[in-house]
């Protein structure tokens, strides 16, 4: 069911064209709008990562191009656009060229469901959380295709690692979200936010909700292939991992998708655990346009937490990575779901 942003654009176009034409034109406009958000968010997050890395390592960071280095990522993007697209002669050309689009399109489709505010959400479907989990798992197909089609043993090893890592940690991501769905009784994102008007779910669910959030952030960081779980790229072992043979904009697609996926993991956590656009204790309830500020503030705080992980912890070995999931996170998650079900059954939730 389309929400206000799609409806508003469609109603505006109805005065200029027929209903069917307005529908398709609205889809195109919304797609272009989200492509713009996608590109700007990617450039901003790359710059943020570099500044945070410099801060943690007592370096200056980007400070030459533009005021305080703000145009550095724009310069990097122009460099990547102008670079030659090189590859290997023995690569499977069709799959090699197709792989980056799996990664970028799955991230863009997921972005369309994120509720930035009550009015700013492209689509609000009744299986929202299920759709997000499903669509995010498609990205790994692009990584597997890219590694296999490159006809490079290091890229192939990186791709295989990605497959086993993503499939493993998706279980914990899904189960931690399912734990919170027990509180809401709905998979629809707008309904999940409405439930939180009586208090954020991380407060309503208290101890099991906090455990679910901690597991979600660990598993989400692993699913996005970021340090300390970046075995997929493992520069010291595999060159650049699955995208070793990619250059120019094809490499940029993989690089950009990693940052957008990090934003998506943080945005889903904000929506499910921290009330999305809802302000703390309803302090700005009477000022609806501040919703986007609260949403972005919470999301960027979680993005900062994921970047903090990267520049603090050393990389795990592949056996340690899988042991963490299968021997610790998954059993804790299963027990946590049972505890949350008991709390909901006995109505032990906290309402503010």
Name the residue ranges covered by the structural domains of the chain: 1-75, 83-345
| C-alpha closest to that of 170 among 127, 137, 126, 199 | 137
Question: Hey, CA dihedral for 186, 188, 191, 196, is it positive or negative?
Answer: positive
Residues 6+ apart with CB under 8 A from 72: 47, 50, 62, 64, 65, 66
Whether 298 has a pLDDT exceeding 50, the answer reads: yes
Helices (H) and strands (E) in the chain, counts: 15, 0
CA distances from 177 to 129, 168, 180, 352 (A): 8, 15, 5, 22
Question: In the numeric block, which tokens belong to residue 161?
Answer: 């690692």
What pLDDT score was predicted for residue 226? 87
User: For 64-76, what is each residue's pLDDT tens digit?
Assistant: 998 888 999 999 9
What percentage of the chain exceeds 70 in pLDDT?
A: 97
- Positions of E strands within 177-286: none
What pLDDT score was predicted for residue 228? 87
What band does 220 get if pLDDT is binned at 50, 70 and 90?
Answer: very high
Report the chain's mean pLDDT, rounded to a whole number: 89
Q: What is the rounded CA–CA span in Å between residue 345 and residue 67?
A: 56
What pLDDT score was predicted for residue 236? 67
What band does 27 get if pLDDT is binned at 50, 70 and 90?
Answer: confident
What pLDDT score was predicted for residue 1? 42
């Amino acid at each position: 069911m389309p929400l206000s942003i799609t409806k508003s654009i469609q109603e505006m176009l109805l005065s200029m064209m027929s209903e069917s034409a307005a529908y398709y034109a609205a889809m195109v406009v919304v797609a272009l709008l989200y492509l713009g958000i996608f590109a700007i968010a990617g450039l901003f997050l790359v710059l943020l990562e570099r500044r945070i890395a410099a801060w943690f390592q007592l370096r200056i960071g980007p400070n030459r191009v533009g005021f305080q280095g703000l145009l550095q990522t724009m310069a990097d993007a122009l460099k990547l656009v102008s670079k030659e697209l090189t590859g290997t002669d023995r690569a499977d050309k069709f799959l090699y060229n197709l792989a980056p689009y799996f990664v970028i399109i799955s991230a863009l489709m997921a972005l369309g469901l994120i509720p930035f505010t009550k009015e700013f959400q492209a689509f609000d479907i009744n299986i929202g959380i299920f759709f997000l989990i499903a669509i995010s798992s498609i990205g790994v197909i692009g990584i597997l295709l890219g590694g296999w089609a490159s006809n490079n043993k290091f890229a192939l090893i990186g791709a295989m690692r990605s497959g086993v890592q993503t499939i493993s940690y998706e279980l914990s991501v899904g189960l931690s979200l399912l734990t919170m769905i027990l509180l809401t009784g709905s998979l629809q994102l707008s309904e999940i936010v409405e439930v939180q008007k009586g208090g954020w779910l991380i407060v309503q669910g208290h101890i099991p909700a906090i455990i679910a959030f901690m597991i979600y952030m660990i598993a989400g960081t692993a699913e996005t292939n970021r340090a300390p779980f970046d075995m997929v790229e493992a520069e010291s072992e595999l060159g650049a991992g699955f995208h070793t043979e990619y250059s120019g904009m094809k490499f940029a697609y993989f690089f950009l998708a990693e940052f957008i996926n990090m934003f998506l993991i943080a945005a889903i956590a904000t929506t499910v655990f921290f009330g999305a656009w809802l302000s703390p204790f309803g302090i700005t309830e009477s000022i609806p346009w501040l919703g986007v500020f609260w949403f972005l503030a919470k999301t960027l705080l979680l993005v900062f937490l994921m970047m903090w992980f990267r520049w603090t912890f050393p990389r795990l070995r592949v056996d340690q990575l899988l042991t963490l999931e299968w021997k610790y996170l998954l059993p804790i998650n299963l027990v946590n779901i049972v505890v949350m079900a008991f709390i909901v059954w006995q109505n032990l939730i906290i309402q503010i």
